[in-house]
Amino acid sequence: MNSDIIIIGAGPGGYETALYAAKKGLSVILFEERRAGGTCLQEGCIPTKCFCRSAEVADTIAHCEAMGISTATPTIDMARVVARKNEVVGQLTAGIEFLLKHKLITYLPERAELIDAHTVKSASGETYTARHILIATGSTAKIPPIAGSNLPGVVTSTQLLDIDHIPSRLCIIGAGVIGLEFASIFRSFGSTVTMLEFAKEILPNFDTDISKRLKQVLAKRGIEFFNQAGVNSIESNGSGMTIHYTWKNQEHTVEADTVLIATGRAPRVEGLGLDTVGIHYSPKGIETDDNLQTNVPDVYAIGDVNGRCMLAHAASFQGRKVIDHLLGEESHIDLNIIPSAVFTHPEAGMVGLTEEECKQRGIAFTAKKSLFRANGKAVSMGEPDGLCKLIADENGSIIGGHIFGAHAADLVQEISALMNRATTVAQLKEMVHAHPTLSEVLQECAREF
């Protein structure tokens, strides 16, 4: 079978690119060895947000007396939490598979491997050709070489999403986005949570003002943090597990019933035939240029597999950029402006440059802050913990935005939109915001300049 483009992987990057290409009149063959939706839908973004919502409801009930409402202490039914998650995932998966019935899309639920720059072979032995091939195979959980990491009870985020009970003691190795979200969730569910992070701060890629304040708030919720901690081994002790780690040049241990390894993701490059075709790649992912093209003409790579930005929406827009490039159409997508968020309680969000990055690059900048406790909506919601930080260059253009607090994931999108239109803080000051809303923290921050 021949087509205009073959896409390997039907995660957000793959399936949305297939739909976009079909809309543009291109014929597509789309391969996926698991289920449509990829890591994001099956074991990442969507399932964790289902858990986040259950945790949020539990927190709301637990603190409802402060709002003048009396009710019984909530009981978490973990089986029902997981069942609801599965229902949501199933519904969304079915929706994607329905969309892929487009007349220009041939969806094949099987593995594919490159034979040459225009040909792939499916797991069933069939060969398919196309003018262009797009690799969108995503990533897998990265497991560090820790002795005992294969013990029962040591899990990845995928396995934790199907757990049938609430661990009494949960130890999380890695305080990045994945680790923090599960720490927040299971603390709300009632687990005692300990976090071991090798880096100096949690969320190493976030602005330090945000990461430090978020850590303080999560610590107040009872989550225990050990930064600059190196995990040495994990062993069974009869009643659970003992985690041995080095902290402040001394050996320490922590006891846990479940250990979550959340030390990041690795590009999924095995079995793709990259060496056969001569495509350059490294442990960081498949190497691509600004058009997401590999060193082999007509072969492209998007999303987690190229290691540029491991976010679902980054993959989707990288795919759109590839299709525009193939069609010779001008693209206005700026892949340097990609918002990201952490769905802890409270949330954190960021877009653009941090103060640290500005200093490293020698960029002249000004940074100002505003606090949620001065925002009427935040106080009325009972969510006064929060901070908004805007960074502007010497011309006053917004080049970075960082928020932690209620609905930070939504609020950071306004900053992203403003940055895409090269908005200045002076212009933001003049934009009318509804009152009372959380978005007023952005305008208040702009008024500090």
pLDDT tens string 136-172:
999 999 999 999 999 999 999 999 999 999 999 999 9
364: left (phi over 0), alpha (psi -120 to 50) or beta: beta
Cα–Cα distance, 221 to 83 (Å, whole number):
27
- pLDDT bin (cut points 50, 70, 90) of residue 413 is very high
First vs last C-alpha separation in the chain: 60
Contacts of residue 11, defined as CB under 8 A and 6 or more positions apart, other chains included, come to 37, 38, 39, 40, 41, 136, 138, 303, 304, 312, 315
* Averaged pLDDT for residues 301-310: 96
| Average of per-residue pLDDT values in the chain | 96
Tell me how many degrees the CA angle 315-318-323 measures, rounded to the nearest 5: 125
- pLDDT bin (cut points 50, 70, 90) of residue 1 is confident
- pLDDT bin (cut points 50, 70, 90) of residue 73 is confident
- Cα distances (angstroms) measured from residue 181 to each of 146, 160, 248, 262: 22, 12, 26, 10
Pair of tokens at residue 32: 């996926």
Residue % of the chain over a pLDDT of 70: 100
The values of phi and psi at residue 98, to 5°, are -65, -45
- pLDDT bin (cut points 50, 70, 90) of residue 70 is confident
Cα–Cα distance, 186 to 204 (Å, whole number):
22
DSSP-assigned letters across all residues of 294-307: -SSTTEEE-GGGGT
**pLDDT above 90 (res 65):** no
* Crossing angle for the helix pair 177-189 and 45-62, to the nearest 10 degrees: 40
**pLDDT above 80 (res 219):** yes
> Which tens digits make up the pLDDT trace of 222-239?
999 999 999 999 999 888
> Which tens digits make up the pLDDT trace of 370-408?
999 999 999 999 999 999 999 999 999 999 999 999 999
> Which tens digits make up the pLDDT trace of 308-361?
999 999 999 999 999 999 999 999 999 999 999 999 999 999 999 999 999 999
The bridge status of strand 2-8 relative to strand 28-31 is parallel
Cα–Cα distance, 69 to 78 (Å, whole number):
25
Side chain identity, residue 231: V
> Which tens digits make up the pLDDT trace of 273-297?
999 999 999 999 999 999 999 999 9
* Catalytic residue list: 435
Pair of tokens at residue 29: 């063959």
Instruction: Scan for tokens 């902290």, then name that residue.
Output: 247
DSSP-assigned letters across all residues of 318-362: HHHHHHHHHHT------TT---EEE-SSSEEEEEE--HHHHHHHT
Count of other CB atoms within 10 angstroms of residue 430: 9
